Amino acid sequence: MKIFHNKTELKKSIQALKKNQKSIGFVPTMGALHQGHASLIEQGLANDAIVVVSIFVNPTQFDNQEDLVKYPRTLDSDVALLKTISKDRILVYAPTVEDVYGKDVVSMTFKFDGLEHEMEGRFREGHFDGVGTILKRLFEIISPDRAYFGEKDYQQLMIVKKLVEKQNIPVEIIGCKIHRAKDGLAMSSRNVRLKPEYRTAAPFIYKTLKAAKEKFGTKSANKVTEWVESQFADQELLELEYFIIADAQTLKTVKRKHNKKIYRAFIAVYADDIRLIDNIALN
């Protein structure tokens, strides 16, 4: 398996593949790979000849320095997992911060038609400018035909679609289903940091999302939100940051339900100092 730490070498390899009419899929990650990432890569391999997997903990998307420092970095086991998926159709790009940013580790500023002001944008200042900055750079380096993103980060997926539309980046963005542990917890690189009692408590998040979906059939968005908040008030180990029912396109919080609109519920929860997010389609 080829591992690149340098964008010039990676670009050369990709150019040669493109000359041979090989289509390029791209799965951007921050590493500490798990089955959720693997499901994106497998979807990529089903559509594209080659899948480039980037492994890069992007400093500009972290609003919390402690979270950035503690983010797991496990390149060797990541490569071992990738080898079990494919030995000859995956290229790994694991750059240094300098290879991506040069000396200026700063974000550009983006406007995503208001998507950036909702939910994660409200609670993580500058996060989506950091996400936009890194993805614009990675798309320029890799020039993929398709790029694969998880619905686990649904708001990010919508923002990436907006980014490529506004910046005229010629890449097809494909959304992929959320991959969950057997007990329902959405897989996340941060899960490995959960102490055992918090890991045991965490499936309550998805259990509550499923119950909220059920209630949304007959109750108003406000009533469901109040119910979820009351459920978390009784949880000792989980602290609710937000639960929001939003229009799945605009991500604006729902005030009144309309029959023709599509809705989704979004949640962010602290388990100890670890922030977990999840979401569910409601109709």
Residues lying near ligand AMP in the complex (CB under 6 A): 29-30, 36-37, 39-40, 149-150, 152-153, 176, 178-179, 186-189
Shortest distance, position 16 Cβ to ligand AMP, whole Å: 26
Tokens of 246: 């939003």
Bridge pairing between strands 238-247 and 172-176: unpaired
Q: Among this protein's residues, is 37 annotated catalytic?
A: yes
- CA 109 → CA 128, 142, 143, distances in Å? 9, 22, 22
Shortest distance, position 42 Cβ to ligand AMP, whole Å: 11
Counting beta carbons within 10 angstroms of the beta carbon of residue 134, is it exposed (0 to 12), middle (13 to 18) or buried (19 or more)? buried
Tokens of 174: 């494909």
In this structure, are residues 45 and 89 in contact, taking their beta carbons and an 8 Å threshold?
yes
Q: Which is nearer to ligand AMP, 74 or 253 (CB)?
A: 74
Shortest distance, position 202 Cβ to ligand AMP, whole Å: 13
Cα–Cα distance for residue pair 202/130, rounded to 1 Å? 28
Shortest distance, position 27 Cβ to ligand AMP, whole Å: 7
Shortest distance, position 40 Cβ to ligand AMP, whole Å: 5
Q: Which is nearer to ligand AMP, 176 or 238 (CB)?
A: 176
Q: Which is nearer to ligand AMP, 224 or 271 (CB)?
A: 271
Q: Which is nearer to ligand AMP, 25 or 150 (CB)?
A: 150
Q: Which is nearer to ligand AMP, 29 or 225 (CB)?
A: 29
Shortest distance, position 220 Cβ to ligand AMP, whole Å: 30
Q: Which is nearer to ligand AMP, 148 or 254 (CB)?
A: 148
Among 37, 127, 179, 258, the active-site one is 37
Active-site residues, by number, are 37
